[in-house]
Structures are given as C-alpha cells and as structure tokens.
A and B are shown apart, each in its own frame.
Chain A
Amino acid sequence: MTVEQQPATEAPAAYLERYGQMLLIRLFETEMQRLFLKGEVHGTTHLCAGQEAVPVGVCSALEPDDYLAGTYRGHGHALAKGTDPRSLLAEMLGRATGVCGGRAGSMNVIDVAHGLVGCFGIVGGSIAAATGAAVTAKRQGRVAVAMFGDGATNQGYFHECLNFAKVLALPAVYVCENNFYGEFTPMLKVTGGGDITSRAAAYGIPAQTVDGNDVWAVREAALEAVQRARQGRGPTLLECQTYRHHGHSKADPAKYRPPEEVERWLARDPLNVAKARLAEQGIAEQEIAEVDDAIKARIEDAVQAALAAPYPDPAAENPTEFAP
C-alpha cells in the first residue's frame, strides 16, 4: 500500500518544525470537534486529522509566494500554507476576525496573503484553481499546487486539467490525498482501474505513489515535483496514501470502515511516524515536549481569541457585490 520511506534530508530543527506543524493541525481539528459539539462551529465541517503529513510535507517544499488550492477538508491546507490559526479558528466560528470576516466558513477559506488561492467546497474545484494559478505562476517563476482527494480523480476537473497543464507545460503539482474513501464509498468501488497514480501516464505526466503518513516521504516527492515545475518541465501527480481519523463530515460516524482497517491506519498515525523519526534523529524527548507545549498554547490562544471575538454585525457590515 505504501512506498519505501525516503531518505531524510533536514536538520534537526526542521524535523521538529514539521512535527510541530502537524501537531498544530491535529490539535486544531481536535478543537474543531469539541467546538462543533458545543455549537460554536456551525453547519458542517470536514476534519483532516490523520492526513496532516500531506499538506505539511508538500508545503515544506514550497516558497511562501507559491500557490496552493485546497479542499473543503482544508484546515490543514490553510495552516500548512501559513494561515494564522487565530484567524482560521475565528473563521470557523463565524466571527468578524476570521480570515474571510466570517463570510466563508469551514469549506471555503481564502487567504491571498499566504498564497492560499482558496479551499473549494465542490470536489475537484481546487484542481482547476491551481491550474489557473499555474498560468500566472509560469510568468512569475512560481509553482501552483492542487490538493484534492481520491474522489476528485473521477471528476472532469481532474482529467481536463491534467491534460490542460501538460499541453501548456504549466508549473503545477497535483497532490491527491488518497484516504481510500469518497465520502462513504470505498475508493476501489468507484475508481476504474483501481489505481490513481497510473492515471497520469495517460497524459504523459510523471507520477508517484507516496506514503502520505510520512511527512518526509511527502516532502521528498514534493521537492522533486516542485523542482520539475520550476524548471519548466511541467506538471506532476503525487498520490499520497493516507487515512482520515474521522468520518467524511460531522454527520458521518464512518461505520462503513472495517475496524481492523481503522486500527492498522491508526497504528501508522503520522504523528507517531514522525515521533519515531525524531527519536531516530536523536532528538531528546524534552525537546519534543517543548514543541508540544508551545503548540498547545498556540491553539489555546487561538480558541480563546476566537471565542472572545465578535460576530459580524449585519447592520454594520457594508458588503459590496462587486470589486470597485
């Protein structure tokens, strides 16, 4: 199911940073779960706990001004790209201090200043957004990344845009977070050929299957894809195999997944994989504990700030339909 682990290439401080970024996403999602049950998060939300290594590994290969388009399971995409947890959490809570002023919510976060083109509420939307961002990026020497799930590889967006990017040699990286379920349906049941990586071959696009629970494996693959894009050698598809710890959305207890499958994946929790790697690198437990404390404090601060922030006031809001 997974490829061999890639060699590590970072200094110890960077190892701790990757771990910390993943922990930030995990704790953010834990808080989202808690706040949803308290009625502070409205509507629905799609948690990415278990999948943290993919956006963190990918974004570690990007420059700050590169572009990323994420999905409705996008809290990790935004945080990995640099969105402030304070403004992201406030957005989830519909507060005026949210990154989009409370207008977007969980599924549609946009953070232009951090190169987050957007998170898209309809499966596959991120693929086109990143493809278009790559048209701009080509002029700028930048790269654009699309994050999407296994379900999106059955959308027209996937096939049209991979072909489009190939024939125009766009600096795009297509990152499939294959968590093996499209909503409630097993990927294999609805995916002709049963293999996502091999789909890229039809478009002459290089592709790789990656252990999506190993942040350094993701980073290694992303570095190669980003370099290819920046050198004008066109797009790459990365299939990062991973697993969500929660159901599809808040309405889904995910009872359709066999318990032994869930157990097997939980044993390969990306945070545990990372911790094992930190130990291999001889990083002291004390140092890890310090990161844990710092991240916990950061999330706690974000939660307190968001809960204290005002809701947007309909009477004071002065939205314009059009940009002036």
Chain B
Amino acid sequence: MSDTLEFRVAIRTAIVEEMERDESVVFFGEDIAAEQGGVFAVTPGIQEIFGAERVFDTPISELAITGAAFGAAVTGLRPIIEIMFGDFMGLSMDSLVNQSAKYWYLSGEQHAAPMVVRSAVGGGGRFGAIHSQTHATWFQGIPGLKIAFPSSPAEAKGLLKAAIRDDNPVIFLEHKRLYSIKGPPPQSAEEVIPLGRANVARPGRDLTIVSVGKGVPDALQAAAQLAENDGIEAEVVDLRTLRPLDLETVLESVARTNRLVAVEEGPATGGWASGLLGLVAEHGLHDLDDAWLLTTGELPIPYSPTLEDAFIPGAEAIASSVRERAGVASAR
C-alpha cells in the first residue's frame, strides 16, 4: 500500500473517529482547539466538529489539566488531554502517579480512570534539553499506568484508538520527528491495536533489535543496511507499549536469534532498555549469546546540531553498533 497517511493525520483521525463513536470522550489541552490545532498542528478543526463542550482550550496549567482529566475520568467521562511537550509532565506527576494510576486498585476496583495523556516527545528537533526528553521511563515503574509509544502512522492510529477505549490511564507518546512521516494506512479504518502486544516489525535470524517509537523506523533502516551491505539479517521488535511490557515476544525473538540489542533514546541508567535486558537475562539467559544496550549518554540532551546528532542513536549508530559487536568491518 502506498504511503498516504501522515502521522499527525493518523492521530487526528483516531481522535475524531473515537469521539464520533463515544459521546463520553472529551478532549482538552493548551491550544488544541485553536485554529492551528496545537503547536504541532495535529488537531485542527476538531472543536468545530464536536463543539466547545467536548473540545476546549485550557489555561497553561499542566497540574490542573491532568488533575481535571483524572476527576472527569473517575466520574464517567473519557478525557484525552494534550500535555504539549513530554518534558512538561513533571508538572502532571502527582495527578498521574498518585491519583490516576492507583484509582482502580485503591478503590477496591470500584472504578478506573480512563484517560489518555498525549505528548510530543523526543530529540532531534533542536529544541534543547527541556523540550526533547522522552518521559516514558519516568512513569514505567508505576503500576496502573499504560504507556504507548507508536512507531508509524498506522501504529499511531491503531494504538491511540485502543488507548481511548482502554479503561485505564494511558500515557501516549508522539515522537515529534515522526509527525510529518507518511506511511501506509491501516488495513482497515477500524483497526485497533491492543495495548501490551509487541510487534515483530521485520523478521530476521541473526539478531534482535528491540525498540519503540522512532527507534523502530531507525532500527528498520539499520536492518535494511545490514542486510544489504553485511549479510546480517536483523529482526526488529517494536514494543509498542512500555507498560504493559510484552516480554514474551522479545523472549521468543531472542530464542530464534540469540542476540539482542535494545535501542533507547535516553540514558541507560534507569531506562526501559536496561530493565528489559535484565528481564531477558532472568528469563532467557539460556538463549542469549550476546546482549547489549544502545542508548544516549548520561547527560541532558544538547541543543547544538552537532552535539545533538552525536548524542541520539539513529539508524547509522544502530548499524555500526551491530557491525562492531558482530566483528564485521563495514562493507562500505
């Protein structure tokens, strides 16, 4: 199928379709109803369709936005909110970690907090240290939260539809370098991708590259290079969600390939990739010949293009890391 679906359009379409489907879905955030539809122009015209009762702009008050989403969620609505940049999620912490995440369990399963918290994340845009982070790992250790991080337009649409339908709080990450990417649309307009199931995005026999979000297209590009130039067939696993974490799919892949590299746009310490390697070691050590991490340094994300490009592991870095580990000199 041709690459006709733009990532930002996929997000917008998922919101519109789910709002049409379910009256209880509401959508609010900073500038989301404004003419441009947010700073990344993802949601223009949605207020015109559904009206100001269901779609509205808010003050720049991340704590109030998230807290209000929680209060609305536990009383019967299904809010989608936009926290403009993932970095701003520091302000939303209490409401997400202490209120939303725990509601289902603490209440003795009386009610959950069905809400979706969308944010633009990731580096490469020259936005500097405090507009480029990926906040997924701040939340990965919190029981009760789901974390989805789509890798393509079709994945974004299917995962966001699932997130909106989910009865639990879902943190939804949109890599800002993917917004303008085009890809094939889903097979069916109704496609919903279940949260918690990883996807083998490319089969291969020699090693497994596991990533999420923009790391997946980077890994696919690296795998294509490795196949063409080095005869290395990499399998690429797209985790899709970091919580729940689909360890099983990763273990099955490692059982076939015996080698694993986890690629994370973030530091190794406390990252999802190091946690994943720990779990694979615990449950699949007998299948492992090699396992390593490809992450950023233990530093804030730099601004200058030369520094930022060197800091973030992209397709080239993945390919060279695999070659180096495999003891293969570059074919080029």
- Interface set of A (CB-CB < 8 Å, partner B): 67, 69, 98-104, 108, 110-113, 117-118, 120-122, 125, 127-139, 144, 156-157, 160-161, 163-164, 167-168, 319-324
Given contacts A108-B106, A323-B104, contact A160 B74 (CB under 8 A): no
CB pair B167 A324 closer than 8 Å: yes
Residues of A within 8 A of B110 (CB): 100, 110-113
Residues of B within 8 A of A156 (CB): 63, 91
CB pair A103 B106 closer than 8 Å: yes
Q: How many B residues have CB within 8 A of the partner chain?
A: 45
Residues of B within 8 A of A139 (CB): 53, 77
A–B Cβ pairs within 8 angstroms, 29 of them: A67-B75, A99-B108, A100-B106, A103-B107, A104-B106, A108-B102, A110-B111, A117-B75, A118-B74, A118-B107, A122-B98, A128-B68, A129-B71, A129-B99, A131-B64, A132-B67, A132-B68, A135-B77, A136-B71, A136-B76, A139-B53, A144-B75, A156-B63, A157-B63, A160-B64, A163-B61, A168-B56, A320-B109, A323-B112
Interface set, chain B 93-131, CB cutoff 8 A to A: 94-95, 98-99, 102-112, 114
Given contacts A137-B75, A139-B53, A168-B56, contact A110 B103 (CB under 8 A): yes
Min C-beta distance of B288 to chain A, whole Å:
28
Min C-beta distance of B63 to chain A, whole Å:
5
Contacts A125-B99, A127-B67, A135-B79 supplied; 8 other A-B pairs, CB < 8 Å: A113-B110, A121-B98, A131-B67, A132-B67, A163-B61, A164-B68, A167-B59, A320-B109
CB pair B108 A100 closer than 8 Å: yes
Question: Which interface residue of A110, A135, A137, A161 has the most chain B CB atoms within 10 A?
Answer: A135
Top 5 nearest A-B pairs by Cβ distance?
A132-B71, A128-B67, A323-B112, A160-B64, A101-B108
CB pair A136 B67 closer than 8 Å: no
In this assembly, does B301 line the interface, its C-beta being within 8 Å of a C-beta of chain A? no
CB pair A323 B168 closer than 8 Å: yes
CB pair B109 A161 closer than 8 Å: no
Given contacts A125-B99, A164-B58, A323-B109, contact A135 B64 (CB under 8 A): no
* Chain A, Cβ-Cβ closest to B112: A323
CB pair A133 B105 closer than 8 Å: no
User: What separation, in Å, do the CA atoms of A28 and B105 have in the docked complex?
Assistant: 26
CB pair A125 B111 closer than 8 Å: no
User: What separation, in Å, do the CA atoms of A163 and B58 have in the docked complex?
Assistant: 10
CB pair B71 A135 closer than 8 Å: yes
Question: Which interface residue of B26, B64, B69 has the most chain A CB atoms within 10 A?
Answer: B64
CB pair B26 A135 closer than 8 Å: yes
Min C-beta distance of A114 to chain B, whole Å:
11
Min C-beta distance of A309 to chain B, whole Å:
14
